[in-house]
Amino acid sequence: MKRIVTMQDISGVGKCSLTVALPLISAMGIETSVIPTAVLSTHTMFQGFTFHDLTSEIKPIMEHWKKEGFHFDGIYTGYLGSFEQLDLAKELIATFNDKGCALVDPCMADDGVLYTGFTTEFARAMASLCAKADIICPNLTEASFLLGEAYPGNNYDEAYIQETLKKLCGLGCKVAVLTGISFEEGKLGVYAYDSIHNQWYQYYREELPQRFHGTGDTWASTFFGSLVNEKGIERSLQIATDFVVECIRLTLEEENHINYGVNFELAIPYLLKLL
């Protein structure tokens, strides 16, 4: 059985980070070890959330794992809250990435703005973590902050996306994926570049009428789970994108659906069929 480790926060309510990654990657038949970076009452889009930092636990956890001789088939880092945690994530990759399957999702921004608590200095430091990853999967806002460039909004063409992907690989990762890309009204998808094999990938689905928080983590978790299950980049992009579309569809189907996450739980049987 495959075993991975994911390092991100646990937000009690608000379906994101570990409460998404743990059930989804486990459902994909992969043992999912965790390094929780912080405990929050909710994700940071709610007002008045509590926050308890767990940074001081991370090094002792890794030391113990080294002593036990644990091995992992993949490493996936998500939302990280401090410079120190970025350094610890680098150490996690340096120590445990035997299989060359480290996914860094540089969760820090969307719609042209950084999430609460993040700065452009943090974005630069996140770029240095991306340099250590095999694969990264920013949205266009995150990509702009990683590269220190202006956010293009909806004003871009394919040449711009390809150039951006090449620059992202130039940070040091092998594969870069840009999520939330659209060249055509009503279509939304992903565009990826594998710099080792000089290979481009794209995949689009219909854009649904509402956007939900946590879909980035849902996408990254299932993309990563598919890669670890040896589906390859092209198929993994499709699986993750199709799964997120189904999650949103099922959420919209519920009359008084919550607006802080998608009903991914209801889509797990569909995910298993995709595998």
Nearer to ligand PXL by Cβ, of 19 and 226: the residue is 19
15 binds ligand PXL (CB under 6 A): no
Token pair belonging to 180: 């939330």
Site for ligand PXL contains 11 (CB under 6 A): yes
Nearer to ligand PXL, 44 or 226 (CB): 44
Nearest approach, Cβ of 51 to ligand PXL (angstroms)? 8
CA atoms of 195 and 88, how far apart (whole Å): 26
On the 0-12 / 13-18 / 19+ scale of CB atoms within 10 A, 64 is: exposed
Residues 84-123 that bind ligand PXL (CB under 6 A): 107, 115
Among 189, 216, 225, 261, binds ligand PXL (CB under 6 A): 216
Q: Name the residue nearer to ligand PXL (CB basis): 169 or 248.
A: 248
Three-state SS string across 253-271, please? HCCCCCCCCCCHHHHHHHH
Closer to ligand PXL by CB, 11 or 241: give it: 11
CA distance 135 to 173: 6
Q: What contacts 218, CB < 8 A, 6 or more positions away?
A: 20, 24, 243, 244, 247, 262, 264
Beta carbon nearer to ligand PXL, 11 or 194: 11
The site map against ligand PXL for 33-72 (x = CB under 6 A) is -------x--xxx---------------------------
Q: Which stretch binds ligand PXL (CB under 6 A): 10-18, 142-150, 157-165, 201-209?
A: 10-18
Distances (CA, A) of 261 to 41, 122, 201, 248: 15, 26, 28, 9
Task: Assess contact for 179 and 139: CB atoms under 8 A.
Answer: yes
138 binds ligand PXL (CB under 6 A): no
Count of residues in contact with ligand PXL, rule CB under 6 A: 14
Q: Which two tokens stand for residue 273?
A: 């069929």
| Residue 17 makes contact with ligand PXL by CB under 6 A | yes
Nearest Cα neighbor of 139 from 200, 198, 220 is 220
Q: Which residues bind ligand PXL (CB under 6 A)?
A: 9, 11, 16-17, 40, 43-45, 79, 107, 115, 214, 216-217
